[in-house]
Structure 1
Amino acid sequence: MNPTIRCRQASMADLPDILRLYAQPDLDNGKVLSTAAATSILEHLDSYPDYHLYVALGDSRVVGTFALLIMDNLVHAGTPSAVIEAVAVDPSWQHQGVGTYMMYYALRLVSKRAVTKLPCHRV
């Protein structure tokens, strides 16, 4: 795993980089939200208590992203479950451990909540 990679919760300033990642041919193939629409959605996501967008940084720039939702349940004695979605890695950083690092980061986040399951869905 690349030791220069780190993750953090995404900010509004990260949106252009996140949209660039989603524009990749294997993802949204250039058809992405406008920055204004993405800003509106990110502001709305911030109102959800346990749904956040994260970025991976390599050499101090955004090289990956994922969304993590932790949700409450009535099943499994009320133990929460989680979903990882919207995973994307910059093509020039693929096969350098970015995706692996993001998944380990997500696992550390959910381990604090004793989550029962964590399926991952690529965009």
Structure 2
Amino acid sequence: MKLSFRTATLDDVPAVLALYEAAAIDPPGSADLRLARATFERMQSHPDYRVWLAELDGEPVGTLALAVMDNLAHRCAPSALVEDVAVHPRCQGRGVGRRLIGHAIEQARAKGCYKLALSSNARRQSAHAFYERLGFQPHGISFRVNLDEQ
């Protein structure tokens, strides 16, 4: 299996959206390509915010977003946040997700981050087990407020 990683480009946005649908992150047919392209371009204006693609023989099979954020706390060490992890179902269980997360960890280490964090829906027990197998540990309590519901 020849798996490679690269940062996504604007031309890759449709493939990233297709991965979100295939992995059931977004409902089929819900993507707005014009909005997604504009959002991607805005994301690219941040110096350390990238969407990564995992490609198997040149075909996108996984993706995640990695943001590296500067901090004043922690002796000014940056931290990293992973979002939107998706692996095509036909490639799940083949090491793609493990290697994709490993790549994000390498990127965060190279940037001098003191931690890499991610969040997962409380109902996704198999995802939690996957992350724990990769060395992630539950930490703290996550809170959110849905701004579109107020």
One fold, TM greater than 0.5? yes
**Could you tell me which residue of structure 2 aligns to residue 110 of structure 1?**
108
**Which of structures 1 and 2 has the bigger CA Rg?**
2
Structure 1 unaligned regions, length at least 5: none
- Provide the secondary structure at the position in 2 that maps to 1:28: coil
8 Å Cα contact 2:79/2:115 also seen in 1: yes
**Could you tell me which residue of structure 2 aligns to residue 60 of structure 1?**
58
Tell me the TM-score normalised to structure 1 length: 0.90
Structure 2 unaligned regions, length at least 5: 122-150
**Could you tell me which residue of structure 1 aligns to residue 76 of structure 2?**
78
Tell me the TM-score normalised to structure 2 length: 0.75
- Provide the secondary structure at the position in 2 that maps to 1:17: helix
* Aligned residue-pair number: 121
Distance in 1 (CA, whole Å) between partners of 2:99 and 2:26 is 23
Question: For each residue in 1:17-71, what CA deviation from the matched residue of structure 2 results, as whole angstroms up to 9, or x when unmatched?
Answer: 1111111363112253221111101110111111111100012100000000000
Distance in 2 (CA, whole Å) between partners of 1:5 and 1:43 is 26
Runs of 4+ in structure 1 deviating by more than 3 angstroms, as ranges, are none
Which structure: greater strand fraction? 1
Distance in 2 (CA, whole Å) between partners of 1:112 and 1:69 is 13
Which structure: greater helix fraction? 2
| Aligned-CA RMSD value | 1.6
The one-letter amino acid paired with 1:34 is D
Larger RCO (alpha carbons 8 Å, 6+ apart): 1
